[in-house]
Structure 1
Amino acid sequence: MVIATAQHFGQAALAATTLNELNNLLHAITREMGFQYFALSHHVDMPRAPQPALRLHNYPRDWEAYYDAERFGPSDPVHRASHLTSTGFCWSMLPRLLALTNRDEDFLARSRRIGLIDGITIPAHVPGEAAGSCTFAVSWGNSPRPEWLPLLQFVGTTAFESARRLVGMRRTQADRPRLSDRQRDCLYWAAQGKSDWAIAKILGISHETAIQHLKEARGRYGVGNRTQLAIHAIFDGALSFTDALRR
């Protein structure tokens, strides 16, 4: 049943053509999994954030008004905790993931008073974009079912990626500049702080060739320096954060 539920949702989400259709799918599977609420969003101050910024939810409207008025998008403790893990977690794990402040405790107490008693949050991290997550919450008299966690992980990540596709945040392969293998090799070492001369020695090419490869890579992205080039390459998947940070 769990596998069939996941497959059905995944197929439907990939076929969705509007955010409203995806919203309805999330409503249905949230109930099927025994939850009452869902929230899919970027972790930004939504009313003031540059668009497109994702938010689909069925939380109480009063909570949305309070949440936005207090600008909790970037500081919500559940959001902050999701930045520290790549897998889903229960809200009961929050004290283990980060040190809760008095404001955090007040926030969580308020959420419980309006019926958001407990939940499971699935992080969504895409390089070059604001962090996000997909959350499923229960109301009074209910508790999350741990056996659904693998399904929630799949549903949350699939829903988030489908929402990104529907608002045009996901670039297609045709939209992305292509680096040659040698250009990427040079960029890999440049991102680790190597000079043009050092890159040439590592790769066994001439100094002038290393300079030319990086110049052409910058030209393909339309940027003027190595830092901007590395950021764009990470965003497009040509380079990973690990590549850039390894020393």
Structure 2
Amino acid sequence: MNLFSFVECAERTQSQKALFDLLVSCTSEEGFTEVAYGALTFPEPLRLPGCPPPLVAMKVPPEWWRRYLERKYYTLDPVVRRTPMFAGPFLWDELAKEHRLQACEQRVLREAREAGLKNGVSVPLFGPSGRISVISFASRFDDADPQRNVKHLNALAWQFHTAFAEIARPSDSGSNRVSLSEREKDCLRWVAEGKSSWEIGKILNVSENTVNFHMKNAIRKLGTANRTHGLVKAIRLGLIEFAEPALATPMVA
């Protein structure tokens, strides 16, 4: 399921549990069957039953779920502790290699892997007033490749996070008055295709700085945290559609 299809399904969902189940179903198609969503720096008002703060929703093997709660691993989990240090998605293996984790943090990661949570990747989600959330994905398979899937998982995480917030606190109709220029829409459409600013510049025959200028304007107008969040909101507001002519434009060499 691509991002646009996920958006269509999410827009018809009014239950946070159904929305979370949709996310799990979508990521499972890529081998990432285990998913956890947490609100780290604020009391999220909507939580699935049995989820203590900072967890909001979680789908993992039952044995690991019980151990995680009984031993209060959410107070030791290095993903929970260290998410605020990252500006974008990070792999659990990199977290263990690049940071001096405490023995208790290493234990949580080791036991999680033994319980079937392998090749983990987490996506920090930043909001207004210092709000930080995180969505983590893991696989039961040794050969899953989080690096190959990280861009798609990042986009799905932001889409889920945005949709979840709308269920909890419905947006006012004034948000629909956002207006983007055609060039800003073009840039966002190519972001949906996974293109970098340099690649978008080549496609649109403009400089990389010009692309970044349009992207910053779009992000500001949409009131979002980054280009992925901006893309998600633009799609939800109907400002960008999947079958646009720009998406068929050949890349300039």
Q: Deviation of residue 139 (structure 1)?
A: 1.3
In 1: Cα distance, 2:12 partner to 2:98 partner: 35
Q: Aligned pair in 2 of structure 1 residues 44, 32: CA closer, same or farther (>3 Å)?
A: same
Q: What is aligned with 1:27?
A: 24
Partner of 2:112: 111
1:71 aligns with 2:68: no
- The one-letter code of the counterpart of 1:157 is W
Matched residue, 2:85 = 84
Give TM-score, length-normalised by structure 2.
Answer: 0.58
Summarize the Cα distance change of 1:51–1:21 in structure 2 as closer, same or farther, 3 Å threshold. closer
> CA–CA distance in 2 between the matches of 1:140 and 1:34?
7
On the 8 A contact 2:121/2:137 being kept in 1, the answer is yes
Structure 2 counterpart SS, 1:99: coil
Residue 36 of structure 2, aligned match among 31, 34, 39? 39
Identity %: 20
* 1:5 corresponding residue in structure 2: 2
Rounded Cα–Cα distance in structure 1 between residues aligned with 2:28 and 2:134 = 19
In structure 1, how many angstroms separate the alpha carbons of the residues matched to 2:83 and 2:70? 22
Distance in 1 of aligned mates of 2:93 and 2:14: 35
Query: Aligned residues, how many?
Result: 169
**Partners in 2 of 1:144 and 1:150 — Cα distance?**
12
Provide, for residues 5-33 of structure 1, a one-character-per-residue CA deviation record: whole Å limited to 9, x for no partner. 11111232233211122122112211112
Task: Give the Å deviation of 1:173.
Answer: 7.7
Where does the alignment leave 5 or more consecutive residues of structure 2 unmatched?
A: 48-54, 175-222, 224-253
Give the Cα–Cα distance (whole angstroms) in 2 for the partners of residues 15 and 27 of structure 1.
Answer: 16
Distance of 2:11 and 2:76 partners within structure 1: 31
Greater alpha carbon shift after TM alignment, 129-138 vs 24-33: 129-138
1:15 and 2:12 aligned: yes
1:222 equivalent in structure 2: none
> How many angstroms apart in 2 are the aligned matches of 1:140 and 1:154?
22
The answer to whether the 8 A contact 2:123-2:136 is kept is: yes
Q: 2:110 and 2:71 mapped to 1: Cα distance?
A: 15
1:133 Cα deviation from its structure 2 partner: 0.8
Deviations 1:87-133 (A, max 9, x none): 11111110355320000111111111111122111111223365211
* 8 Å CA contact 1:88, 1:149 repeated in 2: yes
Match of 1:196 in 2: none
Query: Please, which runs of 5 or more residues in structure 1 have no aligned partner?
Result: 175-236, 238-247
User: Would you identify which runs of 4 or more consecutive aligned residues in structure 1 move more than 6 Å?
Assistant: none
Paired AA for residue 121 in structure 1: S
The superposition leaves residues 114-167 of structure 1 with CA deviations (integer Å, 9 ceiling, x where unpaired) of 111221111112233652111110114332242222111110111112112222
**CA RMSD in angstroms, aligned pairs only:** 2.8
SS at match of 1:142: coil
CA contact (8 A) 1:120 1:144 kept: no
Tell me if structure 1 keeps the 8 A contact 2:76–2:104.
no
Take 1:89 and 1:12, find their aligned partners in 2: how far apart are those partners?
Answer: 27
Q: Does residue 125 of the first structure (1) align with residue 126 of the second (2)? A: yes
The answer on 1:60 being equivalent to 2:33 is: no
Amino acid of the residue matched to residue 126 of structure 1?
G
Q: Cα gap change, 1:50/1:138 in structure 2, threshold over 3 Å: closer, same or farther?
A: closer
Q: Which residue of 2 aligns with 1:148?
A: 149
Q: Compare 52-61 and 113-122 and name the one that shifted more.
A: 52-61
Does 93-102 or 117-126 show the bigger shift?
93-102
- Contact 1:79 1:132 (C-alpha < 8 Å) held by counterparts: no
> Which residue type is aligned with residue 38 of structure 1?
V
Report the CA distance shift for 1:13/1:108 in structure 2 as closer, same or farther (over 3 A): same
Which protein has the larger Cα radius of gyration, Structure 1 or Structure 2?
A: 1
How far apart are the structure 2 equivalents of 1:78 and 1:161?
A: 21
So what's the TM-score if we normalise by structure 1? Answer: 0.59
